[in-house]
Structure 1
């Protein structure tokens, strides 16, 4: 049986000396460090009796080795977390778990202003217009492919521009003769009445509402003296020697027979059927 006054390993006399009992057996400090001490999980060296030892889930550290695996902050007296067997301070652990910014690829920490769009996340200051590079913030934006644009830049780059005012058409609009117009810019050339959704006609590359066309532009029927508009009943027109008639007004002056698609004769200013013309 081993002598309790001697080291179990080296048999050194322990009288008056510091020693450690390991599993009930006396061990000198030197042999304890060599044969019995726990190895530090960080530096892999033994943790001697005279050093403060820290432990967590079956692993051991020197006090000075117990630090964050990312920023190396000492954690002996600080809160800490573990991730994949690594010891980390709370801040670094939050960074590890935080989503990555799609712009700068740095972590977006909890409580940070951020934007989520189409499954990706950005820091608020990183969510910028592809064209002008300014943060979009709370203003509206549009996307083209994978790029996002503030509304002014999108309009400048992609929107159709009104033939009249040259400004971008952001919604709605009228397309006439393959040219785009704002609804409020597509107006009668005479009275400026908006023409979107109404009947109108074109004369010498100008558009007119029905009323203005009748009163200002349309020829007058030589029969009824009303304007020939091309709308409604008076769609078909008869032209003869500089004068014009509604088709239904082109009749024999004497017997009122319709002369549309029939032979006729003239006497003075009168249009006559052949029968009346022979009388």
Structure 2
């Protein structure tokens, strides 16, 4: 029985000592010192910093936790947030995914009518469209530039294999000259 009592006493002592010391620097807190308590750990206010850039974090500003480490908004975005395919900005919060592309919910729209893609996503000539636009699309082929994702007028069409480009988007990788002679 005394062995169990000693184990419990040791566990309580360890818990009390961990609560009274800073998670980062392991130094004790002063009696009247304000400190941050988060996720069951305690931090000196000056020790509560971004795990990447060491910027001082504040409970009044956005910060993010990943695997027990805290990050400022900028570093969290750079390290973990996907980039929206439509607007090219970081997606923090709800992410919509389609065919390995990420979107903000407000950017996840039909590329034809700009309506929400609530009933599924269809690809018509390289563009994400809603069911209604898919059904209404004429059977005449429309080509979408692989680089800018815009419709290509017949006079600007350049095809290589199964890929379509505006002629002015197809360049030599060496000298950067437009390859519009194909």
Number of residue pairs matched by the alignment: 122
The structure richer in strand per residue is 1
Q: Which runs of 4+ in 1 moved over 4 A?
A: none
Check 1:188–1:158 CA distance in 2 against 1; reply closer, same or farther (3 A cut).
same
Quick one: distance in 2 between partners of 1:210 and 1:169?
25
Quick one: distance in 2 between partners of 1:175 and 1:129?
28
Rg: which structure is higher?
1
Quick one: distance in 1 between partners of 2:121 and 2:45?
50
Which of 26, 30, 35 is matched with 1:109 structurally?
A: 30
Q: Which residue of 1 aligns with 2:111?
A: 189
TM-score using structure 2 length: 0.57
The structure richer in helix per residue is 2
Quick one: distance in 1 between partners of 2:41 and 2:96?
37
Q: Deviations over 1:232-251 (max 9, x none)?
A: xxxxxxxxxxxxxxxxxxxx
Quick one: distance in 1 between partners of 2:57 and 2:85?
29
CA RMSD of aligned residues (A): 2.5
* Structure 1 residue 200: Cα displacement: 4.1
* Structure 1 residue 214: Cα displacement: 4.0
List alignment gaps of at least 5 residues for structure 2: 1-16, 141-182
List alignment gaps of at least 5 residues for structure 1: 1-95, 221-279
Quick one: distance in 2 between partners of 1:103 and 1:214?
59
Q: Which residue of 2 aligns with 1:180?
A: 102
Q: Which residue of 1 aligns with 2:90?
A: 168
* Structure 1 residue 129: Cα displacement: 0.6
TM-score using structure 1 length: 0.39
